[in-house]
Amino acid sequence: MFEQRILTDTTPPDRITVMQGQAVVSGELGTEMSTVLGSCVALCLFDPEARLGGMNHFLLAEPPATSSNTSVDEFYGTYLMELLVNQMLGKGARKSRLKAHLYGGANVNRNMMRIGTANADFARSFVQREGIELVRSDLGGNNARRVDFRPASGQVRCRTVEDRFAPPVQPNTRPAKATGDVELF
């Protein structure tokens, strides 16, 4: 028997954690998708008329050009972006009505390649190339983000996780010379 869930301000949402390499679509009113991003990027898509939305989470934009691997790798944006759009269309969304939100793409480790920048650039160009309206984006910088998305309404909350580490603990130093008397027995 079908039971419609009535939401109130105090009703906790059914939370779905979207992990690296996943694309998830839902039209359920009580569903909230969440993910945490560093250099990774998440695309949140929403069709306001179909009241349907989805989120993906990709690790890298594209496989290296030198890769001889011909199998599909679900951690790349080239696969996950197409997968999310196709899942949305398969559940009744129309491409002309899709609205996009993009998040992530931070360069959290200042000593490494700028993977976050490459991911953000790829995601922006994908949305533009596909003719999908980009409603909001929060890309780049140095801080991680937590994204919560309600797919049936298209509502998104993005919080920055600031890089606040406790100061390093200073080890206790031994005195150069022992002080005091020692009695041996």
Name the pairing type of β-strands 133-139 and 22-26.
Answer: unpaired
Arithmetic mean of pLDDT, 64-85? 76
Digit-coded pLDDT (tens) for 113-163:
789 999 999 999 999 999 999 999 999 999 999 999 999 999 999 999 876
Tokens of residue 70, six digits = 């011909």
pTM more than 0.85: no
Arithmetic mean of pLDDT, 16-43? 95
Name the pairing type of β-strands 133-139 and 99-104.
Answer: parallel
Arithmetic mean of pLDDT, 17-39? 94
CB count in 10 Å sphere of residue 140: 16
Torsion of CA 103, 65, 108, 45, to 10 degrees: 10
Domains of the chain and CATH, by start: 14-64+72-161 (3.30.1330.200)
- Sheet with 22-26, strands from edge to edge, namely 22-26, 52-57, 41-47, 99-104, 133-139
H-run or E-run covering 67: none
Name the pairing type of β-strands 41-47 and 52-57.
Answer: antiparallel
Task: Give the C-alpha separation, 28 to 5, whole Å.
Answer: 9
State the DSSP code for 37: E
- pLDDT score of 51: 96
Tokens of residue 137, six digits = 């984006």
Q: What are phi and psi of 11, to 5 degrees?
A: -75, 120
- Whose tokens are 């150069």? That residue is 176
